[in-house]
A and B are shown apart, each in its own frame.
Chain A
Amino acid sequence: MSLEEKDEMLQQKKLLKIIEEDPSHRNYWNVHKRLKKIKFSPQDIPSTSQMKIALLSSFTIDPLAMYLDIDNRMIGLFPETYIGPFNRFRDEVMNKDSGLYKFNPDLITFFVQHDSLVTDNFKVIFSRMNTKQKRDEIDRISSDLNQLMDILVKNTNAIILFSNFIVPADFPLGILDNKQEIGYKRFFTLLNDKLESVFVNSNQVFILDLNNVVSNFGKNKYMNFPMYYRGSLVFNDTCLSQVSYEIMAYIKALKSKNRKCIVLDLDNTLWGGIIGEDGVDGIKLNLTYPGNEFVDFQRTLLSLYNKGIILAVNSKNNETDALEVFRKHPYMQIKEKHLAAYRINWEDKVKNLIDIANEINIGLDSIVFIDDNPVERERVKSSLPEVLVPDIPSSPSLYRNFVEKLNDFNTLTLTKEDLTRGELYKARKKRKDLKQKIQSIEEFLQSLEITAEIKYGNEFSLSRITSLVNRTNQFNLTTKRYTEKEVKEIHEDTDQYLLYTLRVRDKFGDEGIVGVAIIKKESAESWTIDTFLMSCRVIGRKIETTFLYKIIKDAQKAEVKFLHTIYIPSRKNSLVKDFYPDNGFKMKKTGIEGEVNFQLSLENIQISYPSYLQVDEDEL
């Protein structure tokens, strides 16, 4: 039995799900306690997934250990934590028989508040200290820490993560603090600078920029003062998760859980709008709002590219339409040359992702997939759990910040020779077998809980119908355009016409009206589909077939014998050229403009809607 199938693993998965849904402090506490009761047998855990973390500090650090424990498990690691005795970090380092060395950690984190390195009344006397005394104090503290780190480096191969000092937000000298040669704030800034420069070339000691984490969080709120005085607990709950997140950046790099490649969707991800509908001139990509959101997002992606992250594209589009943007759009920041691979087609994005991984020869576990469409994300998440599929915010204005905050693109520029333990530093992970079982598309569609609502046009839907009729280019069989007045006439002329709307809902939300069909009742025996169109957002879920079936069903009910259809090719609609023959229509004749006439004989035809769709329909 593989580890995945073990009872212990399933229990853990269930508990971690609680955190995924609500990462509150009380859930962390609760889940952490319950996880502790699950006993994994050590031989089940691959050595590459083990992670031993020691935490040394001058204050109570247990809550951080709890966050790290869970956050490691969330990315598939099996952590063990060691918490050094309260404020005894010096002894732990100096004494070769200490618990720290017995534990033999992979990572040692150090959290030392300045209070424990200076005299008790340091803040009290600071205003009276002269510059020389302050400089001496900075030198004393940094050489003290330097010595401590030296001893650690000699005695262990672990990565050492030393958190810098939080530059205080309260200064005894008030507004005159920065009029001193070394004010209170500058004192700690200098100390931090010194620490960074001492270890700048070390490939074992890293400075964790705690000051930055706490600044981002807010210096006025990172401490829970009652808890600080009651139990020497420094960080409040929300700040703790940020500190843990920062440490996880190092752990991901150390354990090869970092990501090397970003695979991007195009429409409404790299630019605003839909290229197939809006055209190169119509998409949002500009230096002014709203196109500037996408330009900025692309620049962030390029900054990642410049530090070695691979970019690729996976999009449902006509390849020529999409590539035209890369080649011709003046504000397109990402060019074809930046892409290691692209799959721009109408295939399943899961298949495309596997193709891309194969083409650039990386594992799926190195990929981050970014797509604005939650349905596509869900499809990839459920079929390829190794791929990281972040739920990007729905507003493009937040894309940039969201990607910049991901802690998955880091490396610790370490060479094999630096440390003896090669296991940690395998340059490249073995590529996983990609021929894994992919969840069938039907199973996936079932899980989406799709409802197709097919109604006859009404006065409330007329303007939406008009807009779709005039804007839809790709999934549009005839590309006939009608004004709102004409649509209204069609709607009212019930003897001659039938007007349908299609609205789609799934568990992610309501897409609204996304499809329109216009049927001309030529005679009692024969109907013609004058217009049949759908928004590209919903295609690939057999919704288009369902919509067509509804028309066939109605025609049969009206005892019509033949359904006639026509495909009129345009520059944009090659996607649907086989739509009618794929659904059993017979070709009748081809016209001079390339238009193709089809016919379906309705006698003896049995149709039924796909089982995974709920159809909510008006009846004739």
Chain B
Amino acid sequence: MNSDNSMKFIEIVSKILLIDQAKIVDDLSREDLEEWDSMAHLVLVSDIEQEFDIIFSDDEVTSIVTISDLKNSLKNHGIVI
């Protein structure tokens, strides 16, 4: 675990999805969270891309449903959370 990356990640998710940092758990899913609509999803993905200087593949953007999906996609790009 990289604590610096992890802190950035948590901050972004918390701010974009308006959720307490403590409530960000791996199986948190788009279905559970009203704030995680399609616009928020784009903003979230884009903010993470800019923070970690990567570009997600199109498949990744559409298939990310949970926090754990996000983390796994980041891992594919060499970013360990």
- The answer to whether B10 has its CB under 8 Å from any CB of chain A is no
For residue B46, CB closer than 8 A to chain A, the reply is yes
> Are the C-beta atoms of B46 and A30 separated by less than 8 Å?
no
Interfacial residues of chain B within 11-41, with CB under 8 A of chain A in the complex: 11-12, 15-16, 18, 35, 39
A263 to B46, CA, bound (A): 43
- Is A26 a contact of B18 with CB atoms below 8 Å? no
Task: Give the residue of B12, B42, B47, B50 whose beta carbon is less than 8 angstroms from that of A230.
Answer: B42
Judge whether A29 and B15 touch: CB under 8 Å: yes
* CB-based nearest A residue for B51: A26
Which of the residues B15, B50, B56 comes within 8 Å of A30, measured between beta carbons?
Answer: B15
Q: Is B7 an interface residue (CB 8 A)?
A: no
Q: Residue on A with the closest CB to B56? A: A226
A residues near B49, Cβ cutoff 8 Å: 226
Min CB gap A241→B, angstroms? 14
Count residues of chain A with CB under 8 A from any CB of chain B: 15
Q: A26 near B47 (CB under 8 angstroms)?
A: yes
* Nearest CB in chain B: distance from A63 CB, A: 8
A611 and B15 alpha carbons, distance in the complex (Å) = 41
A26→B18 CA distance, assembly (Å):
10
Task: Establish whether residues A226 and B16, one from each chain, have CB atoms under 8 Å apart when the complex forms.
Answer: no
Chain A proximity of B53: nearest CB distance (Å): 13
- A233–B56 Cα distance when bound, in Å, is 16
Q: Are B12 and A30 in touch, CB under 8 angstroms?
A: no
Residue of B nearest to A37 (CB): B18
Residue contact B16 to A29, C-beta cutoff 8 Å: yes
Interface flag for B65 (CB, 8 Å):
no
Cβ B43 vs Cβ A29 within 8 A: yes
* Bound CA span A231–B62, Å: 12
Given A226-B46, A226-B49, A227-B42 in contact, is the A26-B16 Cβ separation under 8 Å? yes
Task: Report if A62 contacts B (CB, 8 A).
Answer: yes
Number of interface residues of B (CB under 8 A): 16
**Among A27, A224, A226, A227, contact of B15 (Cβ-Cβ < 8 Å):** A27
Beta-carbon contact of B47 and A226 below 8 Å:
no
Inter-chain contacts of B12 with A (CB < 8 A): 26
Is there a chain B Cβ closer than 8 Å to A34's Cβ?
yes
Whether B18 and A30, one on each chain, are in contact in the complex, defined by CB atoms closer than 8 angstroms, is: yes
A227 pairs with B46, CB closer than 8 A: yes
CB of A73 within 8 A of chain B?
A: no
Q: How distant is the Cα of A158 from the Cα of B49 in the complex, in angstroms?
A: 39
Nearest residue in B to A30 (C-beta to C-beta)? B15
Q: How far is the CA of A34 from the CA of B35 in the complex (A)?
A: 11
Give bound CA distance, A34 to B55, whole Å.
Answer: 29
Contacts of B11 in A (CB 8 A): 26
Expressed in whole angstroms, the Cα–Cα distance for A227 and B55 within the complex equals 10
Across-interface contacts of A34 in B (CB, < 8 A):
18
Taking CB atoms, residues of chain A closer than 8 Å to B56 are: 226
- Bound Cα distance A191, B77 (Å): 44
Q: Is the CB of A226 within 8 A of B39?
A: no
Q: How far is it, in angstroms, between the C-alpha of A226 and the C-alpha of B42 when the chains are bound? A: 10
How long is the Cα–Cα vector from A233 to B46 in the complex, in angstroms? 11
A33 at the binding interface (Cβ < 8 Å) = yes
Say yes or no for B61: interface residue by CB 8 A criterion. Answer: yes
Q: Is the CB of A33 within 8 A of B42?
A: no
Chain B residues with CB under 8 A of A237: 50
Asked whether B35 lies within 8 Å of A33 as measured between CB atoms, the reply is yes
**Contact of A231 with B42 in the complex, beta carbons under 8 Å:** yes
Q: Chain B contacts of A27 at CB under 8 A? A: 15
- In the bound complex, residues from chain B placing their C-beta under 8 Å from that of A572 are none
Q: Is A25 an interface position by the 8 A CB rule? A: yes
A62 to B42, CA, bound (A): 12
> 8 A–B contact pairs at CB < 8 A?
A26-B15, A26-B16, A29-B15, A34-B18, A226-B46, A226-B56, A233-B42, A237-B50
* For the complex of A and B, 4 pairs with smallest distance between CB atoms: A30-B15, A26-B15, A231-B42, A227-B46
What is B's interface to A at a CB cutoff of 8 Å?
Answer: 11-12, 15-16, 18, 35, 39, 42-43, 46-47, 49-50, 55-56, 61
Residues of A within 8 A of B (CB): 25-27, 29-30, 33-34, 62, 224, 226-227, 230-231, 233, 237
